[in-house]
Amino acid sequence: MSYDIMVLGSGPAGLAAAVAARGRDKSVLVIGGRWQDSPLAKAERVDNYPGLPGRTGLELLEEFVRHAQALGTDFVVGKALSLLAWKGFSLTVGSQVCQGKALILAPGVVRNAKYPGEAEYLGRGVSYCATCDGMLYRNRPVAVVGLAPDAPQEANYLRSLGCQVTYVSPLRPEGLDKDIPCVQAGKLAVKGEQTVTGLEADGALLPCAGVFILRRAVAPTDLLPALETEEGFIRVDRRMATNVAGVFAAGDCTGGPLQISKAVGEGHVAALSACEYLDANPPAGA
Amino acid sequence: MIHFNKETFDKALAEGGLMMVDFWAEWCGPCQMLGPVIESLAEQYEGRAVIGKVNTDEEPELAMGYQVSGIPTVIFFKDGREIDRKVGVMPPDAFVQVLEEHL
């Protein structure tokens, strides 16, 4: 199904955008991780959100989600892996393709720092998608760099395909198949010649043919390389419009202060601007 | 748009000319997304370039042979030799640029 507006991110900015866009009767799809995994969920007490002092981050998030749901917002839980800006916008989440006519980026702070060798060997042994590329590494050694809550499941999946998996992560994960060896390391570098030959983990080389780097989210600038940033944040105007037509941004991804009220306000503005954009650019043949 | 197997792929490659091949698989979301882009380019360049797809699941030998280690991967050939490759989802312009340069 194609939506009027796709919102990437299920935190306060994304949910406020959904509420505002539903108020203008646009169909809205919110794509994001489990809201319980939002960084805000860790806040023990929020005292500066007007009218609702003393709530936990989790309580506020739950109310925001309920509000957006009650107004008819659709949700897809998962990580957006790739984006295509052609005839509107398409996003892939796992093996699912979602489509929309306008896009609001509200993923929070997503760092796009890469490991040495990562960009160089992307598509030549470095992969971000176990579902997509796992089959290409059957019966071969692979390293899974687990930086996301669902990374252990992805590692288990790769093992079930027949990959020889080693899990690499700064912390020991929960839910990892007990037969998968786990290396605790933080300083990583991808090594290779024509293609990947190994992963260096805290100085020790793990020989492997593939390195699956599984982060919590893909940075917006990796999804949409044309996106302009300023000091690491997405550049927007007062309407929360980015430099790409039909793409708006809101919340922490546009810069500080990293506060709920600011995110909510920007989400609201981004949604109204997206509605204006849709009304000014009706689809061909409509 | 051509769906290659090993035999038809080798034949097309032997004929020379400009060729663009999308290595993909059913289970791969980004590949599903790129599919319509490849199809539209196949239409646009009909008669000028050979544009087709290889299902890596059905033709693992071709995928291995060209060291395809992430999909979608689009490989360009001219006169039977690889001249360029693009990995991941990209808008049509990225492919048009390569095609135009080598036509």
State whether residue A242 sits within 8 Å of chain B by CB.
no
Mean pLDDT for chain A overall: 95
Are A125 and B69 in contact (CB < 8 Å)? yes
A285 has pLDDT over 60 = no
Judge whether A233 lies within some domain.
yes
Could you give the C-alpha distances from B44 to B1, B33, B87, in angstroms and in order? 11, 18, 21
Are A85 and B91 in contact (CB < 8 Å)? yes
Judge whether A117 lies within some domain.
no
> Does residue A189 sit in the same domain as residue A242?
no
> Does residue A7 sit in the same domain as residue A101?
yes
> Does residue A209 sit in the same domain as residue A229?
no
Q: Calculate mean pLDDT across residues A189-202.
A: 96
The tens digit of pLDDT for each residue in B23-76 reads: 999 989 999 999 999 999 999 999 999 999 999 999 999 999 999 999 999 999
Q: What is residue A124's predicted lDDT score, i.e. its pLDDT? A: 92
State whether residue B28 sits within 8 Å of chain A by CB.
yes
Q: What is residue A286's predicted lDDT score, i.e. its pLDDT? A: 47
> Does residue A193 sit in the same domain as residue A227?
no
Nearby residues of A118 by Cβ (< 8 Å), 6 or more positions away: A126, A190, A211, A213
Shortest CA distance from B73: residue in chain A: A123
Give the phi and the psi of residue A282 in degrees, each rounded to 5.
Answer: -65, 145
State whether residue B31 sits within 8 Å of chain A by CB.
yes
Number of CB atoms found within 10 A of residue A273's CB: 22
Are B30 and A129 in contact (CB < 8 Å)? yes
Shortest CA distance from A209: residue in chain B: B69
Q: What is residue A284's predicted lDDT score, i.e. its pLDDT? A: 67
> Does residue A71 sit in the same domain as residue A193?
no
The shortest CB-CB distance from A195 to any of B28, B57, B69 is to B69
> Does residue A103 sit in the same domain as residue A57?
yes
Q: Calculate mean pLDDT across residues A264-269.
A: 98
> Does residue A135 sit in the same domain as residue A256?
no
Q: Which amino acid is at A173?
A: P
Q: What is residue A94's predicted lDDT score, i.e. its pLDDT? A: 84
What whole-number distance in Å separates Cα of residue A215 and Cα of residue B54? 29
What whole-number distance in Å separates Cα of residue A63 and Cα of residue B27? 35
Interface ipTM > 0.85: yes
Domain boundary among A163, A185, A215: A215
Q: What's the total number of domains in chain A? A: 2
Judge whether A31 lies within some domain.
yes
Counting every residue written for chain A, the total comes to 286
Q: What is residue A171's predicted lDDT score, i.e. its pLDDT? A: 86
A33 has pLDDT over 60 = yes
Q: Calculate mean pLDDT across residues A21-46.
A: 95
State whether residue A244 sits within 8 Å of chain B by CB.
no
Number of CB atoms found within 10 A of residue A116's CB: 12
Q: For residues A158 and A142, is the Cβ–Cβ distance under 8 A?
A: yes
Are B56 and A82 in contact (CB < 8 Å)? no
What whole-number distance in Å separates Cα of residue A80 and Cα of residue A88? 16
> Does residue A136 sit in the same domain as residue A102?
no
Give yes or no: B91 in active site. Answer: no
Single out the residue of A215, A213, A197 nearest to residue A141, CA to CA: A197
Judge whether A106 lies within some domain.
yes
**Which residues are registered as beta bridge partners of A48?**
none
CA dihedral B39, B41, B42, B43 (to 10 degrees): 90
Domain that holds residue A168: 126-215
> Does residue A83 sit in the same domain as residue A66?
yes
Give yes or no: B28 in active site. Answer: yes
Domain boundary among A160, A195, A215: A215
**Cis amide bond preceding A257, omega within 30:** yes
Are A133 and B67 in contact (CB < 8 Å)? no
> Does residue A181 sit in the same domain as residue A169?
yes
State whether residue B92 sits within 8 Å of chain A by CB.
yes
Counting every residue written for chain B, the total comes to 103
Predicted TM-score (pTM) of this structure: 0.93
Pairing state between β A2-8 and A96-105: parallel
> Does residue A101 sit in the same domain as residue A231?
yes
A222 has pLDDT over 50 = yes
What whole-number distance in Å separates Cα of residue A244 and Cα of residue A184? 40
Q: Indicate which CATH number applies to the domain containing A6.
A: 3.50.50.60
Q: Calculate mean pLDDT across residues A36-62.
A: 95
The shortest CB-CB distance from A84 to any of B70, B71, B91 is to B91
The shortest CB-CB distance from B30 to any of A82, A87, A210 is to A82
Judge whether A119 lies within some domain.
no
Q: Which two tokens stand for residue A120?
A: 């160089």
Could you give the C-alpha distances from A179 to A27, A167, A284, in angstroms and in order? 45, 11, 54
State whether residue A196 sits within 8 Å of chain B by CB.
yes
> Does residue A175 sit in the same domain as residue A254?
no
Domain boundary among A181, A199, A215: A215
